[in-house]
Amino acid sequence: MSDFVPHTESEVAAMLAFMGLSSVDELFAAVPGALRLAGGLDIESGLSEPDVLSRFGEMAAANRATGSDLVCFAGAGAYDHDIPAVVRRLAFRSEFVTAYTPYQAEVAQGVLQALFEYQTLVCRLSGLDVANASLYDGASACVEAINLAVAATGNAVVWVSQGVHPHWREVIRTFAAGTGHDIREVPLGPDGGTAWPSEGEAGCVLIQHPNYLGCIEDLVAASAVARRAGALLTVAADPVAAGILRPPATYGADVVVGEGQPFGTPLSFGGPFLGTFACRLEHVRRLPGRLVGETVDVDGRRAYVTTLRTREQDIRREKASSNVCTNQTLIAVAYAVHLAWVGTAGLRELALRCARGTRYARESVLAIDGVETMTSAPVVREFAVRLPVPTADVVDRMAEQGFLAGVPLGEEYGANGLLVAVTEKRTRDEVDAFAAALEKAVG
Amino acid sequence: MSDFVPHTESEVAAMLAFMGLSSVDELFAAVPGALRLAGGLDIESGLSEPDVLSRFGEMAAANRATGSDLVCFAGAGAYDHDIPAVVRRLAFRSEFVTAYTPYQAEVAQGVLQALFEYQTLVCRLSGLDVANASLYDGASACVEAINLAVAATGNAVVWVSQGVHPHWREVIRTFAAGTGHDIREVPLGPDGGTAWPSEGEAGCVLIQHPNYLGCIEDLVAASAVARRAGALLTVAADPVAAGILRPPATYGADVVVGEGQPFGTPLSFGGPFLGTFACRLEHVRRLPGRLVGETVDVDGRRAYVTTLRTREQDIRREKASSNVCTNQTLIAVAYAVHLAWVGTAGLRELALRCARGTRYARESVLAIDGVETMTSAPVVREFAVRLPVPTADVVDRMAEQGFLAGVPLGEEYGANGLLVAVTEKRTRDEVDAFAAALEKAVG
Amino acid sequence: MTSANGGQARSAPLVGRDGEPTIFELSSPGRRAASFRSTAMPEWSAEELVPAEYLQDEPVAVAEISERDLVGHFTRLTHRQYSVDLGAYPLGSCTMKYNPKLCDDAVALTGLTDVHPAAPVALIQGWLELLVNLEEVLCRITGMHAATLQPPAGAAGELTGLLLMRAWHERHGEGARRRRVIIPDSAHGTNPASVTLGGYEVTQVPSDARGCVDVPALRERLDGDVAGIMLTNPNTLGLFEEDITEIAAAVHEVGGLLYYDGANLNAILGITRPGDMGFDIVHMNLHKTFAVPHGGGGPGAGPVAVSERLAPFLPGPRPAHDANGGYGWETPAESIGRVHSWHGNALALARAYAYIVANGSDGLHRVAEAAVLNANWLRHRLRGAYDIPYDRPSMHEFVASTAGLRKRSGLRASDVAKRLLEEGFHAPTVYFPLIVEEALMIEPTETESPQTMEALAEALITIAGESGDEARQAPRTTPVRRVDEASAARRLIPTWDASPSAGS
Amino acid sequence: MTSANGGQARSAPLVGRDGEPTIFELSSPGRRAASFRSTAMPEWSAEELVPAEYLQDEPVAVAEISERDLVGHFTRLTHRQYSVDLGAYPLGSCTMKYNPKLCDDAVALTGLTDVHPAAPVALIQGWLELLVNLEEVLCRITGMHAATLQPPAGAAGELTGLLLMRAWHERHGEGARRRRVIIPDSAHGTNPASVTLGGYEVTQVPSDARGCVDVPALRERLDGDVAGIMLTNPNTLGLFEEDITEIAAAVHEVGGLLYYDGANLNAILGITRPGDMGFDIVHMNLHKTFAVPHGGGGPGAGPVAVSERLAPFLPGPRPAHDANGGYGWETPAESIGRVHSWHGNALALARAYAYIVANGSDGLHRVAEAAVLNANWLRHRLRGAYDIPYDRPSMHEFVASTAGLRKRSGLRASDVAKRLLEEGFHAPTVYFPLIVEEALMIEPTETESPQTMEALAEALITIAGESGDEARQAPRTTPVRRVDEASAARRLIPTWDASPSAGS
Ligand SMILES: Cc1ncc(COP(=O)(O)O)c(C=O)c1O
Ligand SMILES: Cc1ncc(COP(=O)(O)O)c(C=O)c1O
């Protein structure tokens, strides 16, 4: 078995002797005999390193990973982007990986500065003033945004666009059972954009942009709706689309959240991902999670430290702005490394490349007999089509042809819907082959 | 294309202006026009990172790597041992990877101490006093050992056992063309051990232990031969076998070299590997390559530095003990990490596990009709057998069955010889399947 | 602004004490690192792809930095960061044990990393098997019936557990009546915060003189409006709640449920199980007990295991065996719904599974013994030098205090923390639990050797013996010295672009 | 001996200035990290496997250390090590450019790393293709006809080249007659050392006032017993040998061959080619020009390219196209034989190929231009502060000198080197080439930005302006201060087990 306990028998004996004890067992005297586990844990005994690795190798082999023999056209909140080598080499250096939350700033400037740069990047993409040091994922970022908006407005009514990822909406409903927020879903219109109610009041208006069906939303309208309803406008925005679209803040968004996976994180079977969260400065005291700020040390040197900690649960306890403690720091660092590598011109190019591939693929797919579009609003990395046959079967058939064809849409969007994502990774040849295979699969 | 040059056009212009120049081309004025390359290099233009990686992915896919679908029984100087995860994670940290030779000791204590520990380990395995900071590979270590021995004895006659790896012997002959050393090969006896000449004088006696055919050599005899011939005894010893065999120095070896690949380095298509080199202290001034020594800094703190540099080419020029400058430091660090992880008890266990698998496999293989042993001397990780049919064909057929069956022996060892290696990585099931497949392949 | 240079290493403590410029300061207009795959796609312009009104007027400024400078920058930052791989990290309640490197390799396989979370079940059998196996071993370790792996951290696990509690009571028509959740005054801050988000009121129960739940006081607070109690056992003082069986009975009597905060299971692995103590709901921090590295603050994983009666309420979909020997997804009958975008922090879950498989029943038992041995040995060793408010056999950690030293030499817990950094150790957790003044919460973990324990003890004893001036000056050897937290809050600078504003 | 502790980080400059114990001091009897694969093999004892007389009496002491302490130890050592990834490394003649991380990934593929060097050709087509392609691009870059990839480093390449020279002359019945090889006084130390090992005598030719080969002096030395000449162009002063064509003609006239030390090709990529200059043999350091990282001293790769007439003598076997569109091995008719155990430093060769493919013709040309631009800009910038013995347009590097400063303030080249470390830069190469007194050989490389160049210039100018005392004290900020090289040689301690002995 692998053994990570350094103590040799004689060392254990010496330590016990120092305490006047004769067996380790005596240390557990406080555990009532009735509660002592007889015969130890009922699990396998330990394996050597190579044995563990071969077992994991077998499980990995039982999956079909995306790649040249399973070309990925699936997205729906988990995208197959190229990740530069620098991300692994830098973000996963052991100092970042094996550090705890930066409680002792003097020896944590590495993580603190990386987070400070991450916060700055998240703010620049959203156009807002302040961002936290990360949340769990897109869904949890939406939940925290709702909590902030309701607290800020004092109105528990939450309008959630049906264009928000179905899983995120489900998570929102799950946690609303605790907060008692009144979650009301707002349907999409025929073009694929949200069709807002013409009246009523709310504390929060939540919209995804581009939305789940890939459509660019009309944020001018959403913003007007939010103002009229007295709600904070919360936009779940995609960081890649930020390369060509106007920043949400320019439309008056109060809170901008997002799923940060496209930068720095592989598909990873869905986690760990990254919840990005930014808001206007006026809401900073309600900001969930950690915040890193710039300051100075006693010698006046520039330094970084977690700040406004009185919001947090370890100090504020039941009155905390949120219960988040451990977040996704390492994923945030990977996001910062990847985004900085992409750079200003690169981000625009990346977004453009996604949009080009998406348009090319959409036209190729819609040219197939019986395949119909589901939306008319502009798309940039993903699009929804309705197939003439059940989607799940098509996806299975396409897998045999070497394609992860996309993500089947739920019934709420009507029958046989398929969501297809095209990142900068997809070549023209791959898209042509994909369209050809799809034509067979639906025929 | 990938671009690692940071200079923007305006920055280039500013730098040129500072020099009073208007074009970069002017900087190359010293290159005669007739020598200027018209039209630039006749190679492809640059590729992006993902394009480079997919091209390498294709080349990698055109190889058949060892693993579960090509179980490796090939050795012959390149062995398939398990390498613990710590090796990559530690030895390949970028501070080790991207440092130069430690010319400025004050900022190179990391590499220097790692090498000092490596030297200590090499000395412990050989039983000798001093080891250098690495040489290129097993072959170059033999060449340098011969050069040292000839210089020390003043006798250019070199007796090289036929049990020394054929490639190493070839390299020895190649370089002897320059040094003029008189290389004489000594044949193996029927048992697989070296049959030394009963008389004559020599400057160097070189033997591999265990030898190319896997046999433990009689170092008592070899040592007597060397003494009688007035030669230095040079042993090319295997670091894994050192876990159970007596250290060569206990037999009176003056120089112990070796191929260090088994610790820390994957098969790597043969390189970079590691030449280990140790000798008696009396020969230290003839030691080839770099040597790290312990010393103190001006404050009396323990520190490490490359020492006895006057042996080296950058100072001694044509009178240097060797021309080696760049060595295999990083591979030496990997060796130290792996060996330290294996540890004292582990090294013995590792050697035992290899010997057990080797015996089990040898018995299974010799049970096959028509397969005969080639040696009778004891073996610990490798053994030679004679097949009833041409070896190359058998190896090809075995590859189809998912085995890298071994390394065909050259004609000098007679027809149809196959060298089979069994490391601690091989399971009983694998060996059973191997023997079954071999039975078919030779039948 | 002329840009800073990215090739000077003076911010690396190896050679200097300067600050490190930000990637924004290192940017130079027009410089770039990125290169993109050649795809042969038509090169439509932005205008051809997206209606003008949606297009940005100017590119978002991100950074303009060469790959070389990017690498230099982040490499230097790592030299300004303490970590387990550099030295001991006796941070109480955080279980900063060594994270075996084999787990890094186990989860680096593309067969795990490059799998889409929405892929059809036929393509993800390996992942489903892994998650089903992990759920099972976690249940065996905790003595529970079923678990959800979705919660991405401990706090998320707590809230999930409280929503399970709520679902249970609602299912039994008591949703409105059960308003309170009881929490000891020694509880971790996430507990009360989660209770609030779960829609409950916090009722605090004091600890008794021995540092355990004051059972009589608890009984007074027990009533029909109590939804349940959240306990940590061993509690945050590192003490085992000896009366746990009695407590469980009392809570169950009034129809409440018992929630076990299992963030730190290190001390009880193979020794005792929450299920056997009578708990209904247990969350675990795989990023503590099960060696998922902390990543500077995350990601972690906070699975929640429950007793049989609560299983029908678990979040879904859950990985499960299917009819024909394979694996599939299954959503419990009365599921409270998803608590994560996908299936939880999958790669973190896989890491923990690798750790559990590598250690096995024998190894995990050794972990518990050595963790408890180190903690108790150090507690003994520090006697006399520090106050030990509850000086009796502790589990994986114990709490010391500088209350006495503060009176004598003015030495505060925070001073000890800063001074200890100079000695090459990370600081313990300070000022927690709140019921101990000037608390130093020390958790050595099992992976630190007796020699390291001795060195840590000597360092702490030396510090206690000093006048206190060194400590107040400390740290003097770090890249920056004590940072001004007050001004960070007063003059808030949350981004590199921000002009200072009144944070508070 | 009671063992040292492995969990205290005081040797990491982040927190302290202590030394780091060795793995031997960190060992504790009976402690271990290793675990081995379960194989179900019969558990024969050593005695059953090997005759007693061969068995060791006691296990070889290696180390007895936990994985946690092993990780702590080597991680702390990396914090005590300067590297390109931390900062600029203007070490002349070493071309310490940034090593792109994509090359790490390219050669980490198991399809490259887990391939046995003796596997049948059918199983290694990918490797053979890679090597054939690399040989071809290297020939195109140098203007040569064929190459061997076997030499594992530059010096090995030199010796290989000299043996090719010898084979050539012997083939033409002049083996005995050709005894001398001419080398400039500015040559790198490996050149003369290799000449000796090649069985030749060194004849040194002086440099002229312009820093180039003194052509008249060369002519005097040319004769029928000259086997050839070894030149570096640009030479080690960073100057291009403008008379190279004339030199080539003169050497060829007497039947000698021209050897090109191409360790540093950075300046001529896409600008000019040794083949066009008339060279017969060229070695390259892929670990310089082609970004194979130096690994703290190696491994590298030193391929040797030759003109058509020398191709038949190249080491074998060589990777080659086979008859039916695939690849195989081929041994040249009059091969001098192998110079490596296998096929050279394969993974280093693959790295270099990845670098070349990523840059391409356009990128490599940009490399040369920026490398030369940085060097010349810095030379201009340092004028006045330092002597520039040969102050004319240089190639990728140039040589400055503190000869004048030494007279004024006693500042030596080595003092500048140590003082520069404090400024966050690695030192230039000092005291080489030997023909310049107090030489500072500076090679900025193309991957350092103009901002870094400016910072480096300012640091060097500041140092030149100082009294010299700071420099003599320097370095003061590093983990250890100036080390005593003299005593290291006088009291030799080559291993941790050694008791000091008289080294010299
Ligand atoms: C006792 C206890 N409970 C709960 C938590 C919260 O866990 P997390 O930080 O993963 O949300 C922690 C860790 O911070 C803890 O120590
Ligand atoms: C000009 C020159 N020639 C030859 C060499 C020797 O190369 P290597 O160190 O790879 O043996 C070097 C590098 O040290 C060099 O700079």
Measured CA to CA, the distance from residue B12 to residue D373 in angstroms comes to 8
End-to-end Cα distance, chain B: 55
Of the listed ligands, the closest to the CA of D298 is 2
What is the mean predicted confidence (pLDDT) over D395-399?
97
| Cβ-Cβ contacts under 8 Å for A66 (sequence gap 6 or more) | A72, A74, A80, A267, A404, C114, C115, C116
How many residues in chain D?
Answer: 504
Q: Which residues of B touch A50 (CB under 8 A)?
A: 82, 425
Q: Which residues of C touch B99 (CB under 8 A)?
A: none
Q: How far apart are CA D444 and CA D377, in angstroms?
A: 10
Does A52 sit within 8 Å of C102, measured CB to CB? yes
Q: What order of strands is seen across the sheet that includes strand A130-131?
A: A130-131, A275-279, A255-259, A232-237, A204-209, A157-161, A182-186
- What is the interface size between A and C, counted as CB pairs within 8 Å? 737
Looking only at the bridges linking them, the beta strands covering A403-404 and D398-401 are unpaired
> What ligand is nearest to the CA atom of residue C298?
1
Ligand 2 pocket by Cβ (under 6 Å): B 325-326; D 93, 153-155, 188, 190, 232, 236, 261, 263-264, 285, 300, 302
Is some CB atom of chain D closer than 8 A to the CB atom of A376?
A: no
CA end-to-end span of chain D, whole Å?
A: 31
The answer to whether residue A326 neighbours chain C at the CB level (below 8 Å) is yes
Nearest CA in chain B to C36: B48
Q: Using CB atoms, which residue from B49, B54, B84 is nearest to A85?
A: B49
**pLDDT mean over B240-269:** 98
User: How far apart are alpha carbons B207 and B231 in whole angstroms?
Assistant: 12
DSSP-assigned beta bridge partners for residue B257: B236, B277
β-pairing, A275-279 with A130-131? Answer: antiparallel
The interface residues of chain A toward chain B in range 43-72, judged by CB-CB distance below 8 A, are 49-50, 54, 57, 68
Using 50, 70 and 90 to split pLDDT, how confident is the model at C136?
very high
Place of tokens 């990698």: B60
CB atoms within 10 A of CB C48: 11
Burial class (CB in 10 A: 0-12, 13-18, 19+), A138: buried
The answer to whether D93 and D428 have CB atoms below 8 angstroms apart is: no
Closest residue by Cα to atom 9, ligand 2, is B326
Environment class of A411 (CB within 10 Å of its CB; exposed 0-12, middle 13-18, buried 19+): exposed
- The residue to mutate among D94, D158, D190, having the most atoms of ligand 2 within 8 angstroms of its beta carbon, is D190
pLDDT tens-digit series, residues B315-326: 778 888 899 999
* Prior bond of C151 cis (ω within 30°): no
Identify whether the C-beta of residue C316 lies closer than 8 Å to the C-beta of residue C335: yes
A138 touches chain C (CB under 8 A): yes
Give the residue among C86, C84, C83, C108 at the shortest CA–CA distance from C354: C108
Strand partners, A188: A194
User: Inter-chain contact C67–B10, Cβ cutoff 8 Å?
Assistant: no
D9 CA to centre of ligand 2 in angstroms: 37
Greatest Cα-to-Cα distance within chain C, rounded to the nearest angstrom: 77
Q: Is the Cβ pair A425, B50 closer than 8 Å?
A: yes
Strand partners, C55: A245
CB contact under 8 A, C479 and D14: yes
Task: For residue C76, count other CB atoms closer than 10 A to its CB.
Answer: 28
Query: Taking CB atoms and an 8 Å limit, are B120 and D22 in contact across chains?
Result: yes
Report cis status (omega within 30 of 0) of the bond before C299.
yes
Indicate which atom in ligand 1 lies nearest the CA of residue C94: 16
Is-cis flag, bond preceding C13, omega within 30? no
Say yes or no for a CB contact (<8 Å) between B326 and D337.
no
Nearest to C68 among B6, B9, B51 (CB): B6
Nearest by CB to residue D3, choosing from C98, C421, C451, is C451
In whole angstroms, how far apart are CA A290 and each of A327, C293, C432, D313? 8, 19, 18, 68
How far is D295 from B94, CA to CA, in rounded Å? Answer: 9
Q: What is the ipTM of this complex?
A: 0.98
For residue D287, the ligand 2 atom closest to its alpha carbon is: 10
Q: How sure is the predictor about D503, in pLDDT bands with cuts at 50, 70 and 90?
A: low
pLDDT > 80? residue B305: yes
The residues of chain A scoring below 70 in pLDDT are: none
The answer, yes or no, to whether residue C29 has pLDDT greater than 60, is: yes
Distance CA B147, CA B155 (A): 10
Percent of chain D with pLDDT over 70: 99
The mean pLDDT value for D11-37 works out to 97
Chains in touch with B (3+ beta-carbon pairs under 8 Å) read A, C, D
| Interchain contact, C28 vs D451, CB within 8 Å | yes
Q: CA of D208, closest CA in chain B: separation in Å?
A: 16
According to DSSP, the β-strands at C304-306 and C281-284 are antiparallel
- Determine the average pLDDT of the residues in D399-414: 96
The number of C-alpha atoms within 13 Å of A408 and in the hemisphere containing its C-beta is: 15
Is any ligand 1 atom within 6 A of the Cβ of residue A326? yes
Residue C503's pLDDT is 59
Amino acid at C278: G
Q: D263-282 burial, b for 16+ CB within 10 Å, e for fewer?
A: bbbbbbbbbbbbbbbbbbbb
D-interface mutation test, from A9, A15, A86, A98, most D Cβ less than 10 A away: A86
Distance from A131 to chain B by nearest Cα, in Å?
30
Report pLDDT digits (tens) over C262-310: 999 999 999 999 999 999 999 999 999 999 999 999 999 999 999 999 9
Atom of ligand 1 nearest to the CA of C300: 10
Q: In this predicted structure, what is the pLDDT of residue C1?
A: 46
Q: Test D66 with A4 for CB contact under 8 angstroms.
A: yes
Q: B391 pLDDT band (50/70/90 cuts)?
A: very high
Distances (CA, A) of A88 to A83, B167, C68, C345, D463: 9, 39, 15, 18, 38
Report yes or no: D26 and D33 within 8 Å, Cβ to Cβ: no
So what's the pLDDT on residue A310?
80
Q: How confident is the model at residue C320 (pLDDT cuts 50, 70, 90)?
A: very high
- Chain C contact for A308, CB < 8 A? yes
Q: Is the pLDDT of residue B14 over 60?
A: yes
- C428 to chain A, minimum CA–CA distance in Å? 10
pLDDT value, residue C129: 98
Q: What is the pLDDT of residue A251?
A: 97
Of D5, D14, D479, the CB nearest to C452: D5
Pick from D22, D281, D2, D273: nearest CA to D137: D273
User: Over chain C, what is the mean pLDDT?
Assistant: 97
Q: What is the pLDDT of residues B157-192, one digit of tens each?
A: 999 999 999 999 999 999 999 999 999 999 999 999
How many residue pairs bridge chain C and chain D with CB atoms within 8 Å of each other? 182
pLDDT, position D1: 46
Cα-to-chain-centroid distance, residue D281: 18
Distance of residue D490 Cα from the nearest chain B Cα, in angstroms? 9
Q: How many CA atoms lie within 13 A of B374 on its CB side?
A: 25
Chain pair B-C, CB pairs under 8 angstroms: 48
The per-residue pLDDT for B96 is 98
Asked if residue D466 lies in contact with residue D458, where contact means CB atoms within 8 angstroms, the answer is no
User: Is residue A323 within 6 Å of ligand 1 at its C-beta?
Assistant: no
Residue C154 to residue C189: CA distance in whole angstroms: 11
**Of A2, A68, A97, A430, which to mutate for an interface test with B (greatest number of B Cβ within 10 Å)?**
A68
- Confidence check: pLDDT of B150 > 90: yes
Q: Is B199 on the interface with C (CB under 8 A)?
A: no
In ligand 1, which atom is closest to the CA atom of C261? Answer: 3
Q: Which pLDDT score, from 0 to 100, does residue C59 have?
A: 96
Q: Ligand 2 atom 7: the closest Cα is on which residue?
A: D154
How far is D423 from chain B, CA to nearest CA, in Å? 12
Chain A interface test: which of D3, D32, D37 (most A C-beta within 10 Å)? D37
Buried b (16+ CB within 10 A) or exposed e, A274-288: bbbbbbbbebbebbb
Looking at the CA of A136, which ligand is closest? Answer: 1
| Ligand 1 midpoint to CA C374 (Å) | 22
Rounded mean pLDDT of C464-489?
Answer: 95
Ligand lying nearest the CA atom of residue D264: 2
∠ CA(C190), CA(C193), CA(C196), 5° rounding? 150
Q: Is C155 in the pocket of ligand 1 (CB under 6 A)?
A: yes
